[in-house]
Structure formats: C-alpha cells, structure tokens
Amino acid sequence: MKTRTLFLLILLLGGAAGLSGQRNPRQATGADTIAVKKIFLSRSYFLEGKPLNLSVMEWFMKDYPRAHDEINLAMMSDQFSIVGYGAGSLFLLSGMLIYRQNRDAGFDLLQVGGVCLAGGIVFQVISGKFKRNAVRLYNDAVKSGPGNARSSTASYSIEIGDGGKVGLLVSFE
C-alpha cells in the first residue's frame, strides 16, 4: 500500500515538474514561425497558438521550396504509415479469426500483420523526422527574411497592331 502511494506521489510530482517546464507555444517564437510543443513521445506544432496539421503546414510552406519538399515527404510517409496500420490490423484480425481452424495459416497471417504494424510504426517515425526538418527549415527561412520565399509574379500585356489584330501575352515567373 505504501509503495503504491509513494509511486503515485512520485508520478504526480514528476508530471507537475514536467508541465511546469514547458513553454507556452504563443510565447515561444515570433510572428509567422511555427512553435513546437513536446508532448510525451510526440510533438505538436502551433502557429500563433493554433494547432497545425500536415495539410495546413504544407499550405504555409508552399513558398519555401526546401521546407515544402520536406513536408511533402512527411505527408507521403504518414500515408504509408496509415496503410501499414490498416493492413496490419486486418491481417492480425484475420489471423486471430482463422487460427483455431488452421494454425499454420493463422500464424502466418499474424506474422504478416505484425510486420505491417511494425512498418507503420517505422513510417510514423520517418514522418516525424521529415516534419521536424520541414519546420526547422521553414522557421529558419522566415527568420532570415523574405528573400528566401519563392516569388511568383504574373504580368500581362495587350497589343493592338495594324489591321485590328489583338495579341495577348501572359507570363508567370
């Protein structure tokens, strides 16, 4: 009884100490930079105090080519992770249902399901690495100034020539 109480007390004190050391994402960075908040084994990303998902991060990073490439890789590996989790859970469930009738086939399905789930975990870790790199590249580019953003300009001109001919020239850079 005393060890359980002592364990719970240590757990509560450790959690309180961990929470007190975390920074508020709104106070962490300047304007237009993405703040990172570590929560246990994962990271959450915030812009001006609002949480960001991968799609929103990709939209913000579209003007920064290096960060945009990294976030696209993060999105792709996140999708592979979802496929791994889905396939793994289907194989595991099938293996558990078939195991009584056919032990060999059930065991094989369980193994394939475990491998797929492990692949999903690996791709989740890879996605987190790419996401972290993308945020770092984006924040560095934003802090260093607007010269790092991809500039896009559009111009057009209309020319009226002899004989009533009209020409239109549109260019995008």
The token pair at 173 is: 């850079």
Who wins on pLDDT, 23 or 43? 43
Question: Which pLDDT does position 39 carry in this prediction?
Answer: 85
C-alpha 139/C-alpha 145 separation (Å) is 10
Which residue in 32, 36, 87 sits closest to 60, CA to CA?
A: 32
Kindly report, residue by residue over 133-151, the tens digit of the pLDDT: 999 999 999 988 766 566 5
Question: Which pLDDT does position 24 carry in this prediction?
Answer: 44
Kindly report, residue by residue over 45-102, the tens digit of the pLDDT: 999 889 999 999 999 999 999 999 999 999 999 999 999 999 999 999 999 999 999 9
Residues constituting the chain: 173
Q: Coil, strand or helix: which one is 15?
A: helix
Average pLDDT along the chain: 80
Flag whether pLDDT at 17 surpasses 50.
no
Question: Which pLDDT does position 1 carry in this prediction?
Answer: 57
Kindly report, residue by residue over 112-139, the tens digit of the pLDDT: 999 999 999 999 999 999 999 999 999 9
**Region for 166 from its dihedrals, namely left if φ exceeds 0, alpha if ψ lies in -120 to 50, beta otherwise:** beta
Question: Which pLDDT does position 32 carry in this prediction?
Answer: 81
Helix residue ranges per DSSP H, 29-153: 54-60, 65-98, 103-144
Question: Which pLDDT does position 19 carry in this prediction?
Answer: 46
What are the sequence ranges of the domains in the chain? 51-146
Residues 6 or more apart whose Cβ sits within 8 Å of residue 89: 113, 117
Residues 6 or more apart whose Cβ sits within 8 Å of residue 53: none
